[in-house]
A = this chain, B = another copy of it.
Amino acid sequence: MKEYCFGIDIGGTTVKCGLFNVKGDILEKWEIPTRTENNGVNILPDVAATIDAKIQEKGIARDTIAGVGVGIPGPVNEEGAVICAVNLHWGYVELEKELEKLTGLTVKAGNDANVAALGEMWKGGGAGYHNVVMVTLGTGVGGGIIVNGKIVTGTHGAGGEIGHVHVEDDEHESCNCGNQGCLEQYASATGIVRLANRMLAATDKPSVLRNEEVTAKSVFDAVKAGDELAMEVAEKFGKYLGTALAVVAGVVDPEVYVIGGGVSKAGKIILDYIEKYYKKYVFQGSRDCAFALAELGNDAGICGAAKLVLG
């Protein structure tokens, strides 16, 4: 009888770890540092060691463990190999195979944004749905697509890479990906700051944003206070993201969009700006769908990873 599983979320600075029972309750959470030096060769041995230590500490019988789910900041192919993960200093790593050898447990790996989407579908803002699009608005824009309860990995592990869909022809600065006019350049935390600074520079309109450091948070705080220029920034943000999600609807026609990441801490107001343009541009047949804020915060990754292995 399987009773436990591990959910592991490997990020560029820390590895978040969770011990779950098979019902999905988090029994324990902890972190270890991500040792990225030497092309990150220590990362998987460190993960195996911390899992082993937890098994010892808890006196868990190995044959009661369903396995280990792992989220990775990079594309993961159908064979569970990581193509590359810049933030871990990894090139091609046969993650599932290597970690299975190190732990003696079943391992399932997925891209972190996809895994977070699975977590939110399981126990968060997308609970009760099986067709979910999750958008993570952080330093960048990540995405995860779930169709009939399964992650859409994509041929090159690039399924759900909606941060890099093209939304603006008139852009002369480059995105981190090398293209110009990506959604990420307007809808990420960094992108919102960029939009705001551009608009502040373009007019003399008074704004509370002129008196403080401009962040995604300060922009939406100003929106809530009725600041006109901040509201124009929010309109632009909503137009880019809402229009892009309307296009996503024309591809997978989901039940719910779950919006997470640091920007989503501004709350329901961001959904209002996104929905306004989504409703304007979406095909009528897909108009009736839900928008929700992510609920799991930093736990989305470990929850989704656990769900990967629980199936």
Q: Are B158 and A249 in contact (CB under 8 A)?
A: yes
Is A154 an interface residue when CB atoms closer than 8 A count as contact?
yes
Is A260 an interface residue when CB atoms closer than 8 A count as contact?
no
Please report the C-alpha to C-alpha distance between residue A289 and residue B159 in the assembled complex, in whole angstroms. Answer: 13
Residues from chain B with a CB closer than 8 A to the CB of A131 are: 154-155
Q: Are A162 and B288 in contact (CB under 8 A)?
A: no
Stretch of A9-17, A27-35, A190-198, A250-258 lying at the B interface: A250-258
Which residues of A in the span 227-277 have a Cβ within 8 Å of any Cβ on B?
Answer: 243-244, 246-255
Is A165 an interface residue when CB atoms closer than 8 A count as contact?
yes
Is A90 an interface residue when CB atoms closer than 8 A count as contact?
no
Q: Are A166 and B243 in contact (CB under 8 A)?
A: yes
Is A108 an interface residue when CB atoms closer than 8 A count as contact?
no
Contact size class for A?
35 or more
Please report the C-alpha to C-alpha distance between residue A281 and residue B161 in the assembled complex, in whole angstroms. Answer: 13
Q: Are B253 and A252 in contact (CB under 8 A)?
A: no
Is A1 an interface residue when CB atoms closer than 8 A count as contact?
no
Residues from chain B with a CB closer than 8 A to the CB of A254 are: 154-155
Is A177 an interface residue when CB atoms closer than 8 A count as contact?
yes
Q: How many copies does the complex hold?
A: 2
Chain A interface, >50% SS class: loop
Identify the closest chain B residue to A154 (Cβ).
B253
Which residues of A in the span 178-217 have a Cβ within 8 Å of any Cβ on B?
Answer: 178-179, 181
Is A145 an interface residue when CB atoms closer than 8 A count as contact?
yes
Please report the C-alpha to C-alpha distance between residue A159 and residue B250 in the assembled complex, in whole angstroms. Answer: 6
Closest Cβ of chain B to A137, distance in Å, is 16
Please report the C-alpha to C-alpha distance between residue A230 and residue B247 in the assembled complex, in whole angstroms. Answer: 28
Please report the C-alpha to C-alpha distance between residue A75 and residue B178 in the assembled complex, in whole angstroms. Answer: 38
Q: Are A253 and B158 in contact (CB under 8 A)?
A: yes
Is A58 an interface residue when CB atoms closer than 8 A count as contact?
no
Is A110 an interface residue when CB atoms closer than 8 A count as contact?
no
Q: Are A251 and B253 in contact (CB under 8 A)?
A: no
Count chain B CB atoms within 10 A of each CB in A83, A164, A177, A289 and give the residue with the most.
A164
26 CB contacts below 8 A, A to B, read A75-B285, A145-B251, A147-B147, A152-B251, A154-B253, A155-B255, A155-B286, A156-B286, A156-B288, A157-B253, A158-B286, A159-B253, A160-B253, A161-B286, A162-B250, A165-B247, A165-B251, A165-B283, A179-B283, A179-B284, A181-B281, A244-B247, A247-B251, A248-B251, A251-B252, A252-B252
Give the 8 A-B CB pairs with smallest separation, nearest first: A154-B253, A158-B285, A164-B283, A166-B281, A165-B250, A158-B253, A251-B251, A165-B247
Given contact pairs A153-B253, A165-B251, A244-B247, a sample of 20 additional A-B residue pairs in the complex whose CB atoms are under 8 Å apart: A75-B285, A143-B250, A147-B147, A154-B252, A155-B255, A155-B286, A155-B289, A156-B288, A158-B253, A159-B253, A161-B283, A161-B286, A164-B283, A165-B247, A165-B250, A166-B281, A177-B284, A179-B284, A247-B247, A251-B251
